[in-house]
Structure 1
Amino acid sequence: MPKVRLRGPAISLPWGAIRLNVLSGNALAELKSKLWDPKNALRSWDANLVNPCSWLYVDCDSQQRVITVMLEKQGLSGTLSPALADLPNLQNLRMKGNLISGSLPPQLGTLQGLLNLDLSANNFTGSIPSTLTNLTSLRTLLLNNNSLTGSIPSTLTLISSLQFLDVSYNNLSGPLPPKGTISEFNLLGNPDLCGAKVGTPCPESILPSSRRRGKQVWLNIGAVIGGIAAGALFLLLCPLLAVIVWRKHRGPKEVFFDVAAENDPHATFGQLRKFTLRELQIATDNFSDKNVLGQGGFGKVYKGSLENGKLVAVKRLRTDQNISAGGEHAFQTEVEIIGLAVHRNLLRLDGFCITPSERILVYPFMPNGSVASRLRKLKINHLKTLDWETRKQIALGAAHGLRYLHVHCSPRIIHRDVKAANVLLDKDFLAVVGDFGLAKLIDTKNTHITTNVRGTPGHIAPEYLSTGKSSEKTDVFGYGVLMLELITGKRAFDLARLFDDDDVMLLDWVKRFQQEGRLSELVDPKLRHSYQPNEVEKLTQIALLCTQASPSDRPKMVEVVSMLEGDGLAERWEEWQKVQVLRREEVDVGHKQLDEWMMIQGDSSNLEAIELSGAR
């Protein structure tokens, strides 16, 4: 393996930083040497440069220490080098969605500052190293969608900082560890796990040794008592073993399983809680109208207060919409898939309720309401207007949420009704995309589905409206209109604008002002000039790119996020302008040809009139 040589920007660094950079560079060069890189993603990882902070997919702190390695979905294969242990300040290691195989290096357990470890969706085998227990600062550990075997280390869940552990879709077995302080714990797709909480009793042979020793002591109290106890134990274990054998051979269990506290009296499915109808009736005062937060195409949403005082939003779905054809099992399966979509910019599903006549979803209550209410219902709700910085963050947050639905969910999800009313704001005004829970799921082999058109006038993409076919680009169109709502504060569709001889559709109104160079007149007057004109121009450009008539011309949400973060907008906008010029020229030529044709037709009509009026 080539070692890092002192070259380039190393001269300006203190010796301590140089030495650390050399070690970090060597570690990353070793990581690269163990990987096959068909896309040449690591082309900037030059082992002759002393400072790896200039390399792509590597982030450093102000002291030039490597803190992040981000290599998601780069097509990498090979093995994971133990040399990662030589990155002592590493906080984030994200290598999701590659083809890396082999075992997980135990040396990862030496990275004491690691906060987030994501090695999901690879081909890792072997067991989960017990050394990961030493990662005392770890917040998220994502090892799902690999081929890991063995048991989950019993002390792993006792890391006090760990908030989310996902080991779903592996081949793990053995007893479940205690939940500890983890708030989210995904075990789906490991049929050989056992324990009371997954409904599969563990065989006696794999129970903890302390429990086995305790039983042995009692069995040794006298030969007669021991014989009686053994006989009784045999009689008790016969039906239990039969149940174990039946469960072992019935196939994989496609159900979320939660590792809840021992005293939790409620049924759970993964991180989802199954509420009784009575609980939700009490929480909402029997679905009282005074608790209605809003109403949409899928039903009403009520504010509720659970027994423990937690505030929730209870979405009572219309039962005549056949949301889950096939009955309760189909609905529960759909709910479980929805529950897999976990992202800071997506509204988390807390639980559900299902009866022969009710379908109810339970979400966290968002104290700052929806973006629509903050834009247009300020006087009614006595709210302050959203400032420009908050609006920019909302646009970026919503884009991140939609990108996650389109790219990182498995199966992928389209929303089909992206609008200001469906973007909620938490207590810190973080944008949270909601109402995707009933979105149709995208099969990876299909780019669209044909179904009844759902959506809101002004937000519906033209191809979806005319054909019923939707795709990720349908959401991109709706997102573009959402951006225009944030910029202007206006509704996407408003008949009241007819009285001012304005366009009913917000998109048409913005296009006209943009073509006339009147962007400053687009901005919501409630902002009172507390915005940057160049930022308004950039966001308007992105919105217009997203709302192009042809789906193929619209960017993907991944590209939208990049443009919002300052990458690629100028080139794309220049290309868009060239296309617009060509289209206008084509229209002008068409108009000219039509005028000429009309003139010819007019001359022919005059000649015919003269001939008809001649002598008979």
Structure 2
Amino acid sequence: MVVFSGGMVGVSRHTMLYCAILVLYDLILSFAKLYRGVLTLYLPSLHVVPYQFVSYTVLLCPCMQLYHSLISRKIVRYLIVMQEGDALHSLRTNLIDPSNVLQSWDPTLVNPCTWFHVTCNNDNSVIRVDLGNAQLSGTLVPQLGLLKNLQYLELYSNNISGTIPSDLGNLTNLVSLDLYLNSFTGGIPDTLGKLTKLRFLDLSNNNLSGEVPSTGSFSLFTPISFANNPQLCGPGTTKACPGAPPLSPPPPFISPAPPSSQGSSASSTGAIAGGVAAGAALLFAAPAIGFAWWRRRKPQEHFFDVPAEEDPEVHLGQLKRFSLRELQVATDNFSTKNILGRGGFGKVYKGRLADGSLVAVKRLKEERTPGGELQFQTEVEMISMAVHRNLLRLRGFCMTPTERLLVYPYMANGSVASCLRERPPSEPPLDWTTRRRIALGSARGLSYLHDHCDPKIIHRDVKAANILLDEEFEAVVGDFGLAKLMDYKDTHVTTAVRGTIGHIAPEYLSTGKSSEKTDVFGYGIMLLELITGQRAFDLARLANDDDVMLLDWVKGLLKEKKLDMLVDPDLQDDYVEAEVESLIQVALLCTQGSPMERPKMSEVVRMLEGDGLAERWEEWQKVEVVRLDVEMAPPNGNNEWIIDSTDNLHAVELSGPR
């Protein structure tokens, strides 16, 4: 609270009263303009404040600089948080949410930073809304344009309809707009061309119509961004608009004729020989000409090649640099039918190269920054040097001014997550022996990243969906190095918490700092996925009054001595109980709250091989007993009942390793 003394030099009581009236006027004006969406503020430091907000108080009142620097900024920041919460709540009311994904978007909680699928910066401004693949329908609202600091709007793979609000053009900090695979109609707003920071745009697989704008940021994007919208036309597509000149593919490359080394005296001989050769060539080429004429009747597919960016100082050894056209041909122009999956880093397409080999092409979707190309290539080289039987090998990459693509071998058996939860009824489930082999193989791969790579590689998103399976169902860790790769705009600092709800270590979520122990936590959750067959985070468990977090659900069942209810029903009791207990013990050791108490991945490997688990488990049980003694002791200090009964400890619900 600021107190103005009557004895302050040069400030009369009349002046102070006048200033108080102006302050009140200022606040009313600010509220009104904020409500109307007119007020524009610059966060986080508020170095610039619009003239309308400053109004008369700073100009006429002594000490009002102090008022504006201390009081009004806090008020304005609070108002902005309220405005962003109102905007997101308006979105919620306009969307149909059969899976209750937006259940946490409670309007009584003013700060939207506490809601699931919303990410904020240190100033509590919303910078990311991630509602991809959430089974949402309904329409978008123009209030989204009030999220002035929003950088990522992820609404892919839903059934949202209606038009794309032109107000999205007010999101001047937007880096990524992903509306892939929805039911949007109407035209593409010209206002999106004003988004100078936009580096990823995916409007493909909708029902958009009209001409694709060609001004502003639209000039950066290839037809991939607009594919499978049959009614779209213009330079960003493969179809010309009515009345416009037809689009044509790039002219074929014609090699220059070699210079003649003969004089004019040989010209007649050359002409005769040329005529004979031409006649023979025509005779043999007749079938080919007929075939070409037949092919012309078929619709032609247009591909757009983009010059690649490369730095001659980076030597990538055997790593192949693909052209964008090569990958377009391999994936049938990034056809929807070739999509293998998608995640936080982008979509993955199945492709077939010219040599017949199958590949998985990952199209990255993140901010491109000037000067980041060399850093990107350096990180790609680092990933390619991590070679281990349990790590996914990088085969090549493609880089253009607006595209980053990575090429990997195709994994025929998909991921652990797909085998656990998305397998066709005709296919058998993963048996227990295979699950144990997956646990050990993935641990070895992560241990290699931590202990044998220089610099060490932190995965930051270890989960069942990122553990792939080759033809022999051998575990192969995928997506490693991508978290660092996608943060190449800031060489030394992790710029965002990357991971999946339910797998993120608590210290990583609270501080944004990752370490090897972050991966250990994610690995422990992945072990629980292997054992239970369940998701790490599942709102469906609320229907049975169970915990939505898999770790909490497992601990609850262990406390109730219901070990048999933990095991995946697909196994049909075909497992070794002692081995299940051992894996659960390893999982609980890996998911301890303190990162210092978690084992290293190399220790995890040894424990899975039968070395050291008994000692580590016994040590942890003692620590748990002491900790719970302190937490649960009665006020009178008499805690003998705890020592006599340990039924409350999930740590002792399992027998020791066998």
Given candidates 313, 321, 342, the residue that maps to 2:367 is 321
What is the one-letter code of the residue matched to 1:284?
T
Residue 270 (str. 1) matches residue 317 (str. 2): yes
Structure 1 counterpart SS, 2:342: strand
Matches within 5 A, 1:53-452: 255-256=314-315, 269-318=316-365, 320-322=366-368, 326-379=371-424, 382-440=426-484, 450-452=494-496
* CA distance, structure 2, for counterparts of residue 592 and residue 376 of structure 1: 50
5+ unaligned residues in a row in structure 1: which ranges? 1-252, 257-268, 442-447, 595-616
* CA distance, structure 1, for counterparts of residue 494 and residue 636 of structure 2: 40
* CA distance, structure 2, for counterparts of residue 540 and residue 254 of structure 1: 49
- Determine the structure 2 residue equivalent to 1:91: none
Whether the 8 Å CA contact 2:484–2:494 is kept in 1: the answer is: no
Q: For 1:478-535, what per-residue CA distance to the aligned partner results, in whole angstroms no more than 9, with x for missing partners?
A: 0000000000000000000000000100000111222232212210010011100000
What is the one-letter code of the residue matched to 2:350?
K
Displacement of 1:431 in angstroms is: 0.3
Matches within 5 A, 1:526-541: 526-541=570-585
* CA distance, structure 2, for counterparts of residue 440 and residue 301 of structure 1: 19
Q: For 1:15-54, what per-residue CA distance to the aligned partner results, in whole angstroms no more than 9, with x for missing partners?
A: xxxxxxxxxxxxxxxxxxxxxxxxxxxxxxxxxxxxxxxx
Distance 1:590-1:355 versus aligned 2 partners, 3 A rule: farther
* CA distance, structure 2, for counterparts of residue 295 and residue 575 of structure 1: 41
RMSD over aligned Cα, in angstroms? 2.1
What is the one-letter code of the residue matched to 2:397?
F
Structure 2 counterpart SS, 1:458: coil
Structure 2 counterpart SS, 1:412: coil
* CA distance, structure 2, for counterparts of residue 413 and residue 581 of structure 1: 35
Whether the 8 Å CA contact 1:401–1:432 is kept in 2: the answer is: yes
Residue 562 (str. 1) matches residue 609 (str. 2): no
* CA distance, structure 1, for counterparts of residue 423 and residue 498 of structure 2: 28
What is the one-letter code of the residue matched to 1:489?
G
Count of aligned residue pairs for this structure pair: 323
* CA distance, structure 1, for counterparts of residue 330 and residue 511 of structure 2: 42
Whether the 8 Å CA contact 1:374–1:383 is kept in 2: the answer is: no
Given candidates 508, 514, 534, the residue that maps to 2:552 is 508
Distance 1:353-1:568 versus aligned 2 partners, 3 A rule: same
Displacement of 1:282 in angstroms is: 0.3
TM-score (norm 1): 0.51
Structure 1 counterpart SS, 2:501: coil
Given candidates 495, 498, 504, the residue that maps to 1:460 is 504
Structure 1 counterpart SS, 2:536: coil
Given candidates 512, 521, 546, the residue that maps to 2:590 is 546
Residue 577 (str. 1) matches residue 621 (str. 2): yes
Displacement of 1:591 in angstroms is: 6.6
What is the one-letter code of the residue matched to 1:425?
L
Distance 1:591-1:365 versus aligned 2 partners, 3 A rule: farther
Whether the 8 Å CA contact 1:413–1:439 is kept in 2: the answer is: no
What is the one-letter code of the residue matched to 2:367?
Q
* CA distance, structure 2, for counterparts of residue 388 and residue 412 of structure 1: 32
Whether the 8 Å CA contact 2:483–2:498 is kept in 1: the answer is: no
Displacement of 1:334 in angstroms is: 1.1
Q: For 1:181-207, what per-residue CA distance to the aligned partner results, in whole angstroms no more than 9, with x for missing partners?
A: xxxxxxxxxxxxxxxxxxxxxxxxxxx
* CA distance, structure 2, for counterparts of residue 333 and residue 552 of structure 1: 31
TM-score (norm 2): 0.48
What is the one-letter code of the residue matched to 1:306?
L
5+ unaligned residues in a row in structure 2: which ranges? 1-311, 486-491, 639-658
Structure 2 counterpart SS, 1:469: coil
Distance 1:569-1:349 versus aligned 2 partners, 3 A rule: same
What is the one-letter code of the residue matched to 1:383?
E
Distance 1:558-1:278 versus aligned 2 partners, 3 A rule: same
Displacement of 1:590 in angstroms is: 6.1
Displacement of 1:421 in angstroms is: 0.2
Q: For 1:244-274, what per-residue CA distance to the aligned partner results, in whole angstroms no more than 9, with x for missing partners?
A: xxxxxxxxx9633xxxxxxxxxxxx312100
Structure 2 counterpart SS, 1:361: strand
Displacement of 1:385 in angstroms is: 0.7
What is the one-letter code of the residue matched to 1:508?
D
Distance 1:571-1:361 versus aligned 2 partners, 3 A rule: same
Whether the 8 Å CA contact 2:442–2:477 is kept in 1: the answer is: yes
Structure 1 counterpart SS, 2:573: coil
Q: For 1:580-600, what per-residue CA distance to the aligned partner results, in whole angstroms no more than 9, with x for missing partners?
A: 111111111267789xxxxxx
Displacement of 1:325 in angstroms is: 6.3
- Determine the structure 2 residue equivalent to 1:237: none
Whether the 8 Å CA contact 1:449–1:471 is kept in 2: the answer is: no
Distance 1:582-1:303 versus aligned 2 partners, 3 A rule: same
- Determine the structure 2 residue equivalent to 1:55: none
Q: Which has the higher contact order (CA 8 A, sep 6+)?
A: 2
- Determine the structure 2 residue equivalent to 1:176: none
* CA distance, structure 1, for counterparts of residue 493 and residue 507 of structure 2: 12
Displacement of 1:437 in angstroms is: 3.2
Whether the 8 Å CA contact 1:271–1:339 is kept in 2: the answer is: no
* CA distance, structure 2, for counterparts of residue 439 and residue 370 of structure 1: 19
Displacement of 1:332 in angstroms is: 1.0
Distance 1:418-1:592 versus aligned 2 partners, 3 A rule: farther
- Determine the structure 2 residue equivalent to 1:476: 520
